[in-house]
A = this chain, B = another copy of it.
Amino acid sequence: MTDQLLDVVSAGVRAYDLARELRIGMPQSPNHPPFWHVVPRRHGDSVRADGGSAANDMITTGTHVGTHIDALAHVSQDGALFGGVDAEEACIGGRYVQHGVHTIEPMIRRGVLVDVAAHLGVTTLDGDHEITLTEFQDALNAQQTEVRKGDVVLIRSGWGAKFDEGQAFVGGATGVPGIGEAVARWLATQGIHAAGADSIAFEHLRPGAGHGLLPVHRLFLVESGIYIIETMNLEQISVDRVYEFTLVLAPLNIFGATGSPVRPLAVVSRG
């Protein structure tokens, strides 16, 4: 008995890697414990009688650094998480038993890229640019892509190209381009499952404002139950104009965490 999915996969697929490499010193929000990776044991440190040796690692990291997903437990408003769950009661023994990242089902879903930067003909939107609903819908139309219920929608501002520049990616004084409440509200109305972007905080950050106000986080995580994926690498799917694809994403199943590093893939049939 053959499996339809396996048949298609066996015929050939291409997987676009939508994650940034995890390296010490990569840009991240200072609010989170930084990523650090060390190799405590190297080859040769301890050699077995038969000449074999093993090396290993230790990592320490926040869960909201690098390419990562926000669980619903990440943000609260007036003391409540999504669905009116009491934010204090959701935390049992120091872990978010309710709405933690362990409650996010691995995703194999329709993914959509909305390449706003390409549509506007720029390498990257400016830091003070909030993507308007008109711009967003025009980009969708130009791409001939539609957003459907259950989709994972990835929004490209072009800002992601700054990741390799370091601190510039974080924004700060320049601000960071992205959507605001208008586009978020429209997306929530479409019933999307998750949304991602190539920037550090997904949504527009006003110049100099930092992460002080994050209305889209509230709208998505608290009011709508929509997951947010940040610091994605959307460059190659932009170049290849891959606007619809199968989005595969499986967070680490960390019991009680508010997020997880992820390595999402955009997969398409070859040829």
Contact = CB atoms under 8 A, between A and B. Distances in A.
Main secondary structure of the interface of A (DSSP, over half): mixed
B108 A43 contact: no
| Among A11, A17, A91, A254, residue most surrounded by chain B Cβ atoms (within 10 Å) | A254
Nearest to A60: B60
A220 to B, nearest CB: 12
Q: Which of A39, A50, A267 has the most CB of B within 10 A?
A: A39
A23 B97 CA distance: 12
A252 interface: yes
Nearest to A19: B253
A4 B109 CA distance: 13
Interface residues of A, number: 98
A268 B6 contact: yes
Interface in A46-77: 46, 48, 50-64, 73-77
B10 A87 contact: no
A50 B78 CA distance: 8
B40 A110 contact: no
A82 interface: no
A109 B48 CA distance: 34
A69 to B, nearest CB: 12
Contact of A212 (B48, B110, B256): B48
A4 B11 contact: yes
A48 B213 contact: yes
Given A44-B87, A96-B39, A252-B261, A269 B102 contact: no
Contact of A30 (B25, B55, B212, B245): B25
A90 to B, nearest CB: 8
10 contacts: A15-B106, A23-B255, A40-B40, A44-B76, A55-B74, A57-B63, A57-B64, A58-B61, A108-B248, A252-B261
